[in-house]
Amino acid sequence: MGDTITLLSRREIEKMRQAGQLAAALLDHLAPMVQPGITTLDLNDEAEKWTKAHGAISAPLGYNGFPKSICTSINEVICHGIPHRKRVLQEGDIINVDVTPILDGYHGDCSRTFFVGTPSPVAEKLVKVTEECLQLGIEAVKPGGKIGDIGAAIQKHAEAQGFSVVRDFVGHGISKIFHTAPQIPHYGKAGKGKRLRPGMVFTIEPMINEGTWEAVLLDDGWTAITKDGKLSAQFEHTIAVTENGVEILTLGE
Ligand code: MF3
Ligand code: CO
Ligand code: CO
């Protein structure tokens, strides 16, 4: 990715808001389908159909060769899990569903981790802490602050709860381009990094692990799993830096 951070106009941020709301609505639509017995391909195909029916395009499909329309990342999968007709959701699984519709040229990128049936105590804690990490990262955003403030807030909370922060994948600038500058690490030091300015639009998408933060890439070239096979969870929003603070662009109704 290039180094230049584009500041979006009010008109463009309104476009991002429309795309972001569509992304959130898609997750709301998929949420009740996340039950034991369905496959990750079922989720993918419903997402693809719903996205088209709403006048949008699935950004992941064909992106750098990615073969499906959404990412479905179960248990030890950190991110970029590929939907598959043989992957049936099991009672007790956790699954991150990551969607990115493109509406009128602009990308809305968000994800949530869902429980399949009843989670184990550690899965329940990991998912709760990961969602809190996203919220704390968002709350660290203000004009005049630094990009490092975000990762510092996330890392502090995750590690205080006995979990670790994935290093190999980061948040990203997003607009007409899916992944652009700046990179947003989910770890680091407050006061470090580039200055946050009104009009910057990027994702915050912490991946938090039960055990080690280290990742391994599977032979499919996409699926990233934890090195120790323990659980990983993720939540993602697309946000804009405003004159006063921050706006979440991928909020549901
Ligand atoms: N939505 C993912 C993100 O949060 C990116 C998926 S890229 C794909 O950045 F090619 F794997 F779909
Ligand atoms: Co993203
Ligand atoms: Co995403």
Least Cα distance to 111 among 125, 101, 100 occurs for 100
Least Cα distance to 167 among 158, 176, 175 occurs for 158
Which residue minimizes the CA distance to atom 3 of ligand 1? 109
Ligand 1 neighbourhood includes 63 CB (under 6 angstroms): yes
Ligand 1 neighbourhood includes 210 CB (under 6 angstroms): no
Which residues face 71 on adjacent strands?
Answer: 98
pLDDT higher than threshold 70 for residue 253? no
Q: Are 232 and 92 in contact (CB under 8 A)?
A: no
Domain-wise residue ranges, the chain: 10-248
Is 132 marked as a binding-site residue?
A: no
**What are the two backbone dihedrals, phi and then psi, of residue 226, each rounded to the nearest 5 degrees?**
-70, 145
The whole-number pLDDT of residue 68 equals 99
The per-residue pLDDT for range 127-160, each reduced to its tens digit, is 999 999 999 999 999 999 999 999 999 999 999 9
Ligand 1 neighbourhood includes 207 CB (under 6 angstroms): no
The whole-number pLDDT of residue 1 equals 56
The whole-number pLDDT of residue 147 equals 98
pTM to 2 decimal places? 0.98
Which residue in this structure is represented by tokens 């008109």? 11
Ligand 1 neighbourhood includes 83 CB (under 6 angstroms): no
Q: Which CATH superfamily is domain 10-248 in?
A: Creatinase/methionine aminopeptidase superfamily (3.90.230.10)
Instruction: Using the mean position of ligand 2's atoms as its centre, give its distance from the Cα of residue 174 in Å.
Output: 8
Q: What is the dihedral of CA 152, 157, 158, 160, to 10 degrees?
A: 120
Q: In what order do the strands lie in the sheet with 101-103?
A: 57-58, 101-103, 106-107
The per-residue pLDDT for range 193-226, each reduced to its tens digit, is 999 999 999 999 999 999 999 999 999 999 999 9
Taking all residues of the chain, what is their mean pLDDT, rounded to a whole number? 98
